[in-house]
Amino acid sequence: MVKDQEQLKKDVIDHLIWDSKVDATAVQVEVRGDGSVILNGTVPNYFSRQAAEKDAWSVTGISAVDNRLEVKFPGNIVVPGDTDILSAIKNNFYWDTDIESAKIEVTVSNGHVILEGPVTSYWQKLRARELAESVSGVLGIENRLSVVPSGRLNDELISAEVIGALQRDSRVNEKEIDVKVNSGEVTLSGVVPEWVAYEAAGHSAYYTHGVVNVVNRLVIKNADFSGDEREFE
């Protein structure tokens, strides 16, 4: 059954309201004829902003998400200053055994965070961002962390490992996905039927040894929506 725009909009709104991580009170949802979603309005923290985007993507029939949500802290709370935000992020890094906190430099200016320094795996770069996102007062994050693997693997081996992970994942049809590796950077392209396959394919690259960057150019073509294909990263 093909969903119309109103049904897609209702599904996105219902999913945002369902998610206890998201305060959707001031979120407006617009769905276009091609199945793309625009999120406007405000949320009380950056974590809620990112969660709202993931929720919209996970709705069956959505082809693209444009997240225009702004963070507006509630008037009844004391917004942490840059020094407090910096301290909280460093604390999160220190207590997370997966992150080598001594090598990561954190800068905070007016609530905007910059992460710099080396990590040994691509997933650690993503993990560092997640830890920073969870801190109250954060308005935005620029992740400049560089991935420096402890042991260099050649591109052919990295490609074989990514393809192997795709083949083992029941959520993905590896025949739909093209994998290219250049100096440790993995590029995924092709067409997948839904968000869960897109996300699973990304994870197959994120967690592979030797990967220094991932460019996800997969296109979602959802069988429940008769719209244009959209590409996003």
pLDDT digits (tens, 9 = 90+) for 44-82: 988 899 999 999 998 888 888 999 999 988 877 788 999
* Fold match, 5-71 / 82-147: yes
Q: What is the CATH number of domain 5-71?
A: 3.30.1340.30
DSSP track, the chain: ----HHHHHHHHHHHHHH-TT---TTEEEEE-TTSEEEEEEEESSHHHHHHHHHHHHHSTT--EEEE--EE---TTSPPP-HHHHHHHHHHHHHH-TTS-GGG-EEEEETTEEEEESEESSHHHHHHHHHHHHTSTT--EEEE-PEE--SS---HHHHHHHHHHHHHH-TT--GGGEEEEEETTEEEEEEEESSHHHHHHHHHHHHTSTT--EEEEEEEE--TT--S--EE--
pTM, to two decimals: 0.78
Structural domain boundaries in the chain: 5-71, 82-147, 155-231
pLDDT exceeds cutoff 80 at 224: no
pLDDT confidence of residue 223: 41
Q: What is the CATH number of domain 82-147?
A: 3.30.1340.30
* CATH 3.40.50.300 holds for 155-231: no
